[in-house]
Amino acid sequence: MRRDSEPADYVVCRHCRRKFRAIRALHLIRRHGYDAEHPVADYKRRFGLESASCREVRQRLREIREEFRTRQGPHWTRRILIAEIRRLFRSVPPKREAVRTREAGRRLFGSWEAAVRAAGFHYEEATGIRHWTAERIVRIIRERAAAGKPLHSTAVKRQFPALHRAAIRHFPSSWAKALRAAGFDPRDHRMTSCRWDQTSAESWMRQQVAKRRSILARDDPVDLQDFVRRKLGANWSGFVESLGIPYPDVKK
């Protein structure tokens, strides 16, 4: 039978001449006594047919197969997946991955998280993290420290607000508590901590005296006074006097 002479929307049963969208197994078994095993295949073989369906049905089947392949996505390799993750995360705003993409990550890298890291992203930052736990917060704080990123509250709040929010929720209710849980002394991670230590505080004070500048609390840097009070546990005049400098008791 020549293909192009076939009507598009039906085929004719070679046994009974009835028209169908497709010659189906049930019809062949019931009407024509076919074996239940492979009736359609037997029918096609018997009449030398490539198909037992009309053109429309065949077209629809092709579409369904095509759709299925599309849903399956590309044939994933590690390289293709990494490229896809970068495309998603670098688009503005970042796009969420499809379920099949996550599955490819699990298959090729052991987990989606591992795949994201393999693509060069900090997982928690890149995904805006959905599942915070105390352990995870502690780990990220340590990662920041190892990477030389600032740990003081202000910087974290600015650079990684989700981490700061989660930390305060999991370590009610201060960033300092989260730092302590990660094994850091919050006093070492203030905005001013890099500026002052005992040596620099003392030498600053001696220079003030040498240059005959004011050493009154009201004139001196607030962050230094803060350092003295918190880190050295001294009030300002006590600190000045501990250096052998008489603190002026007369207001200038």
Site residues (CB under 5 A) for Zn ion? Answer: 13, 15-16
CB of 60 to Zn ion, least distance (A): 22
What residue is closest to Zn ion based on CB? 13
CB of 10 to Zn ion, least distance (A): 13
CB of 61 to Zn ion, least distance (A): 21
Which of 14, 55 has the CB closer to Zn ion?
14
Which of 40, 137 has the CB closer to Zn ion?
40
Which of 20, 184 has the CB closer to Zn ion?
20
Q: State the burial class of residue 228 (Cβ atoms within 10 Å of its Cβ: 0-12, 13-18, 19+).
A: buried
Residues listed for the chain: 252
Which of 13, 245 has the CB closer to Zn ion?
13
Which of 26, 194 has the CB closer to Zn ion?
26
Which of 34, 196 has the CB closer to Zn ion?
34
Three-class secondary structure assignment of the chain: CCHHHCCCCCEECCCCCCEECECCHHHHHHHHCCCCCCHHHHHHHHHCCCCCECHHHHHHHHHHHHHHHHHHCCCCCHHHHHHHHHHHHHCCCCCCCCHHHHHHHHHHHCCHHHHHHHCCCCHHHHHCCCCCCHHHHHHHHHHHHHCCCCCCHHHHHHHCHHHHHHHHHHCCCCHHHHHHHCCCCHHHHCCCCCCCCHHHHHHHHHHHHHCCCCCCHHHCCHHHHHHHHHHCCCCHHHHHHHCCCCCCCCCC
Q: State the burial class of residue 88 (Cβ atoms within 10 Å of its Cβ: 0-12, 13-18, 19+).
A: middle
CB of 16 to Zn ion, least distance (A): 3
Label the pairing between strands 11-12 and 19-20: antiparallel
CB of 22 to Zn ion, least distance (A): 12
CB of 50 to Zn ion, least distance (A): 18
Which of 16, 83 has the CB closer to Zn ion?
16
CB of 14 to Zn ion, least distance (A): 7
